[in-house]
């Protein structure tokens, strides 16, 4: 398993995406996004995605963000049909629209649909928080692999959500989570590492735990992913997911998930903090919350308590120094893609 420096991985990712058909400026946006996901420990949304992204572009014309259609536009909201454009690029630029509207009108909301995979959701609200705002991203995206509470039939996407707020010192607080037990990419990472799945992720129609990662994609009619909360409290993840569908699908104009097809919509929400209170007061409140919660006494086996996003920042510092571990199977796929595109592969 090679450990690759983030800048080396970024250069390789950019070259593969650019040679694969993404224009230079957009290829940089996507490569930065993917490598940052690896740095933060979310390998399921990192460079392992590149071979699939490149494969999907074969024989197709790259759809530029500039060709998107604005379906509705007011001082506070916009709804956008991406026309099949790159989801990571579209989401990055949709954030800018939401921020501009919030700066002018206190709140900005952008509904986006009809794009490719939008990547790691946690990237986007942090961009909003960095502008001194509350950032929220709601979705009804992803493959339809989550089961409703009480069934193993696949009926819902993971419907991730993410939010971030600025802090007085250091990176924003950031929460990025799915409403399924885990993201589907986490199972692919287990498969790539030839590791069994923990119990509580997948079940069959008898309610039995499934620990073979291969069955996730190879036995879709018989295996489903549990909602957040699992067999005991999964009604919560189930209920939240359905509410996300009812909010995001219609408002983004993506439509709700049904008949095995995900709606694939996103809402980007920016709230201008200084329209509500002054920034210093807000940050003092946030720091007071963090200090109070993380001062709780850790249980045996816990070294410390974390605020949302702090584990990602800790992982980033470690991987910046030591490199990013890439599973052998993932590195082999990247190498094959590089050979197909005549891109030099760095020695690792």
Structural fold of domain 1-62+324-348: Hypothetical Oxidoreductase Yiak; Chain: A, domain 1 (1.10.1530)
Confidence of residue 112 (pLDDT cuts 50, 70, 90): very high
For 99-254, list the strands marked E by DSSP.
107-115, 133-139, 161-165, 173-177, 202-204, 209-210, 223-225
Does residue 322 sit in helix, strand or coil? helix
Structural fold of domain 65-181+226-295: Ribosomal Protein S8; Chain: A, domain 1 (3.30.1370)
Confidence of residue 348 (pLDDT cuts 50, 70, 90): confident
341 touches 58 (CB < 8 A)? no
Segment 79-101 shows an average pLDDT of 97
Whole-number Å distance between alpha carbons of 6 and 82:
30
pLDDT at 1 over 80: no
Residue-wise pLDDT tens digits, 205-221:
999 999 999 999 889 99
Domain extents for the chain? 1-62+324-348, 65-181+226-295, 184-220
The pLDDT assigned to 2 comes to: 80
Q: Is 65-181+226-295 the same fold as 1-62+324-348?
A: no
Residue-wise pLDDT tens digits, 123-169:
999 999 999 999 999 999 988 999 999 999 999 999 999 999 999 98
19 touches 11 (CB < 8 A)? no
Segment 19-32 shows an average pLDDT of 96
Q: Which two tokens stand for residue 84?
A: 């099949």
Residue-wise pLDDT tens digits, 59-87:
888 999 999 999 999 999 999 999 999 99
Segment 249-277 shows an average pLDDT of 96
The pLDDT assigned to 188 comes to: 86
% the chain with pLDDT above 90: 89
């Amino acid at each position: 398993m090679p450990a690759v420096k983030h800048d080396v991985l970024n250069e390789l990712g950019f070259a593969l995406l650019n040679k694969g058909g993404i224009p230079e400026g957009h290829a940089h946006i996507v490569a930065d996004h993917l490598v940052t996901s690896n740095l933060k420990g979310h390998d399921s949304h990192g460079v392992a995605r590149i071979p699939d992204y490149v494969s999907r572009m074969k024989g197709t014309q790259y759809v530029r963000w500039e060709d998107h259609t604005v379906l509705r536009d007011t001082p506070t909201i916009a709804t956008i049909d991406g026309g099949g454009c790159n989801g990571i690029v579209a989401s990055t630029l949709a954030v800018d629209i939401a921020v501009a509207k919030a700066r002018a009108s206190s709140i900005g909301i952008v509904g986006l649909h009809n794009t490719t995979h939008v990547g790691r959701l946690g990237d986007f609200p942090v961009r909003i928080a960095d502008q001194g705002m509350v950032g929220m991203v709601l979705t009804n995206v992803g493959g339809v692999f989550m089961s409703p509470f009480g069934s193993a039939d696949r009926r819902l996407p993971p419907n991730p959500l993410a939010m971030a707020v600025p802090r007085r010192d250091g990176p924003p607080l950031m929460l990025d989570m799915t409403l399924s037990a885990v993201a589907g990419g986490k199972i692919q990472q287990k498969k790539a590492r030839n590791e069994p799945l923990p119990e509580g992720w997948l079940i069959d129609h008898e309610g039995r735990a499934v620990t073979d990662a291969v069955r996730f994609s190879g036995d879709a009619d018989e295996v489903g992913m549990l909602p957040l909360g699992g067999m005991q409290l999964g009604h919560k993840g189930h209920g939240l997911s359905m509410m996300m569908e009812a909010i995001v699908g219609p408002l983004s104009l993506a439509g709700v998930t049904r008949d095995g097809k995900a709606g694939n919509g996103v809402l980007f929400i920016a709230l201008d903090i200084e329209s509500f209170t002054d920034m210093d007061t807000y940050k003092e409140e946030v720091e007071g919350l963090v200090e109070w919660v993380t001062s709780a006494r850790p249980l045996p086996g816990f070294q410390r308590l974390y605020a949302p996003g702090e584990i990602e920042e800790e992982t980033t510092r470690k991987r910046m120094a030591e490199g990013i571990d890439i599973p052998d199977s993932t590195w082999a796929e990247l190498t094959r893609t590089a050979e197909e595109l005549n891109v030099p592969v760095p020695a690792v």
